[in-house]
């Protein structure tokens, strides 16, 4: 049984269009977990062949700007709408993911916070969890590193 809603966006959204927020289902295949990594923010859209295309951000280089889950979601969303070249992309069966909400140019709407918390708790990343179900878009300032 798929935990993807019937209202999942179909095909890649335009700039500021709506994309789905997703988390892996409990018991997802290990190869999917190895690809997306624990704690990743995952955004995507449905394809007509019953698959989903997802873009994800796991902050594997520990960028302090991407410490919060919502900032990772925004980074993945920006890649998705720009169709940017990335290795952080996967097309797979819808049965691997649960849709928990939406993201667009204005912000994030989480409809299944309990599922997001389950994913972040499993990932030892609860500190990055948003405090509310509605997260308005914020501009993240780039941190300039000055070498001595």
Per-residue pLDDT of the chain (148 residues; tens, 9 = 90+): 456 767 889 989 998 899 999 999 999 989 999 999 999 999 999 999 999 999 999 999 999 999 999 999 999 999 999 999 999 999 999 999 999 999 999 999 999 999 999 999 999 999 999 999 999 887 655 556 566 5
- What b/e readout covers 71-104, taking b as 16+ CB neighbours within 10 angstroms? bbbbbbbbbbbeeeeeebbbebebbbbbbbbbbb
Q: DSSP letter at 43?
A: E
pLDDT at 6: 73
> Measured between alpha carbons, how far is residue 133 from residues 90, 116, 142 in Å?
26, 10, 25
Distance of CA 105 to the CA centre of its chain: 14
Among 140, 127, 133, 136, CA closest to 68:
127
């Amino acid at each position: 049984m798929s935990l993807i809603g019937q209202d999942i966006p179909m095909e890649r959204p335009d700039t500021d269009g709506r994309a789905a927020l997703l988390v892996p289902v409990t018991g997802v295949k290990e190869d999917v977990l190895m690809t997306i990594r624990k704690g990743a923010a995952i955004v995507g859209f449905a394809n007509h062949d019953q698959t989903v295309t997802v873009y994800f951000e796991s902050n594997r280089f520990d960028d302090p700007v991407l410490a919060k889950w919502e900032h990772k979601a925004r980074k993945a969303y920006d890649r998705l709408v720009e169709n940017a070249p990335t290795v952080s992309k996967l097309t797979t069966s819808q049965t691997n993911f649960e849709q928990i909400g939406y993201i667009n140019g204005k912000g994030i709407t989480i409809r299944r916070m309990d599922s997001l918390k389950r994913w972040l708790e499993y990932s030892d990343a609860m500190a990055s969890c948003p405090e509310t179900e509605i997260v308005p878009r914020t501009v993240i300032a780039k941190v300039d590193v000055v070498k001595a």
